[in-house]
Chain A
Amino acid sequence: MLLETFGVTKRFGGVTAVDRVDLRIAEGQALGLIGPNGAGKTTLINLISGVVRADGGTIRLAGSDITRLPAHRLAALGIARTFQGVRVFKGLTVQENVLVGRHTRMRTDVLARMVPRPQALSDPHRARALALIDRVGLGRRRADTLAGELPYGDQRRLEIARALAAEPRLLILDEPAAGMNPTESAGLRELIGGLLVEGLTILLIEHDVRLVMDTCQRVAVLNFGRKIADGAPAEIQRDPAVREAYLGTEAVA
């Protein structure tokens, strides 16, 4: 198991957003996390990635307790994520965004920078950044475009490239396909598939049910902060509790 949560809980004022959730993701696996809006999916992600502190329960990464660790330490330990409603660094270029993603893998080069050198494009970090920018479908020609100038779909891709730059063990994607057209989500599916082949572990929150069913080996369903189902995609589709949760909002399958 790469990531496990045991009874993790988060309360906001009077509301229990995440209620004693147990989750298990095996190494190299893709787990889909679905549920109606407001079910607590993003909060759960925020707990795992250290953006908020849990009120109860434990979270373990490859056996070690990471419950109390802050976000930046978790990034160093190999957890990377994208955000619902993109959070790229708008005023920075595409390449700079990805380089920030690489922060945990880079040693500080302040002293080296004091000597002006022709931009070391042979620099392995920049090379890797450009490779990632190509890989997510942005194209290295755009490396110097300001992130804020990119269309929304491209900003999402940039976020993924930024997350991958850290060479994470666990990649968390929060609604990456939102607002994508069928061609784009096909591209996304391919990307995720490729990452899985390379051995990356993925936690995917999505409303695009087809994407989840196609890419994930297992699916967990949240409703009102509780996990109500956990299993193979086909089982989830047949689960009556899941159907009920979605009744009136969207059809499962």
Chain B
Amino acid sequence: MAEQLYNAVFIGSIYALFALGFALVFSVLDILNLAHPTVFMLGAFIALFVIGTLGLPWFVALPIAVLVTGLFGIVLDRVAFAPLRRRGAPALSSMISSLAVTLIVVRLVELRYGGDFITFPAGAVPAFVFRVGDATFEGIRLAIVVLTVALMLALTYVLRRTQLGRDLRALAENPRAARLLGVNVDRAIAATFFVSSALGGLAGVLLAFAYNTLDSKMGVPLELRAFTVMVVGGMGSLPGAVIGAYILGFGEVASLVYLPTELRDAFAFGLLFLVLVLRPTGLLGQKSPDRV
């Protein structure tokens, strides 16, 4: 039972880290970045590259992966989103362009590493284990949970207390007004993508460390969960996304006990659909679902 709980918290944290980045871009720029699962996967593979090919230890690989994915996020924006923004294209176009980038990046990774599951070289990944009574807990999962909470607090602080955070909130509220008021919109957008992708990449590395495996399609199940998380928590709300993530995490672990495995995915979608029908704004949502 305690292990189940621990699992639920761990899974919730991964969802939360992933969803935070996703929700950040949505709340500031109103676009669904369908390439987010790609940065998740990219983070893991960069770590693999640094450890496996460059032979560096995991505590060097981690920050490098995070940094590189953050920078990738900026490139992603320049390539896939900025031209559409300039034209005033609808949200759907951005979704498709991010999809196109996903196609390309996933394939590139597969060309180098193939499409199957890969494990890290032996001993490369930190593996602390500790016991409480009868139960065994993996330390790395605990580290992930702690890290998620810490990052969430840090992000909240940045958004509330710093100039950058104010700029981002202005941008989220009204892009045109923000520009007129002197907000450096381009820099704010670059920062948004950097942070969002870095978070996604971090989530990817941590998950890969925790399970000691990675593959090119690891982002896909998370992508669909991310929708549920955002909707349940409330579109446009970052704390909402985190809460939604934990609700989903707990819900899934619980449903595993009661539902046959085939229906496990159904929990996430059932929840999503239910929320959209009954309370589309979610728990803490700020954006009206009437907005296109």
Q: Tell me if chains A and B make direct contact, with any CB pair below 8 A.
A: no
